[in-house]
Amino acid sequence: MFEKAEIGIPCPKCRHKTNKTIAWIKAHHEMVCAGCGSTIGLEKKELISGLDKVDKSVAELRKTLGGFGKRR
């Protein structure tokens, strides 16, 4: 569902953020930093906490949309 959402992955060495989609992250377990060229291991724990945030904001959005739907 969030496959197309982008997450900024910060490089631990140079702090350059690289945006990758969740679908891309699922298919890879490491990435190359565009800033310094070092290989970054993709830590699933961090990504899951990022997904939680996305999930909450979507829930908020649904509440708002639901409010509109219930108008009489």
Least Å distance, CB 69 to Zn ion, is 45
For Zn ion (CB under 5 A), the number of binding residues is 7
Please tell me the distance from the alpha carbon of residue 36 to that of residue 32, in angstroms, as a whole number.
8
Contact, 22 vs 7, CB < 8 A? yes
Q: Is 34 in the site for Zn ion (CB under 5 A)?
A: no
Among 5, 23, 32, 36, binds Zn ion (CB under 5 A): 36
Find the angle CA(57)-CA(43)-CA(47) to the nearest 5 degrees.
5
Q: Is 5 in the site for Zn ion (CB under 5 A)?
A: no
Q: Is 14 in the site for Zn ion (CB under 5 A)?
A: yes
